[in-house]
Amino acid sequence: MKYGSYYNLTLKESPGKGRGVFAAEEISAGKLILVEPALMFSGSDIDGLRSHKLFEYIFQIGDSMAIPLGVGTFINHSEDPNVKVNRQIDQELFEFFALRDITPEEELTHKYIRALWFSPAAE
């Protein structure tokens, strides 16, 4: 499987959220948007990261945790997401799929599974 983006995406400021990932072209529902390698962590590794900024970008996957190594780290949370994230532990990668049609300039979002450590921006 080829790593990288299958569509043109931009990284820019997202009002109230910091940086976010935005579609630069139309993306149809069900399409694979992005594939990124995952940097995997064990529980003992995580303890040292809890006070580090990187902790905010970690995905929990069962007993393990991982960070996508690319723009996927900047896909923000939404209660009404337009992206689904498949975590492929055995292959150490993340796959990002469109849940619905995404229009140009629309921000890509997914629903965080882990308890939120912040107050979400109004949508």
Give residue 118's pLDDT: 42
pLDDT for 29: 99
Note the pLDDT of residue 33: 98
DSSP-derived 3-state class of residue 47 = helix
Q: What is the residue-level pLDDT of the chain in tens, covering all 123 positions?
A: 789 999 999 999 999 888 999 999 999 999 999 999 988 877 666 666 666 566 666 766 667 778 888 999 899 989 999 999 998 878 889 999 999 999 999 999 998 775 444 445 555
Q: Residue 49: what residue type?
A: L
pLDDT score at 45: 64
pLDDT (0 to 100) of residue 108? 98
If you write DSSP's letter for every residue of 50-115 in order, what string do you get?
Answer: TTSGGGGGPEEETTEEEEESSGGGGPEE-SS-SEEEEEEGGGTEEEEEESS-B-TTPBPEE---SP
What's the pLDDT score for residue 56? 66
CATH 2.170.270.10 is right for the domain spanning 4-110:
yes
- Quick one: how far is CA 33 from the chain centroid? 11
CA Rg, the chain, in Å? Answer: 14
Q: Which residues pair with 23 in a beta bridge?
A: 9
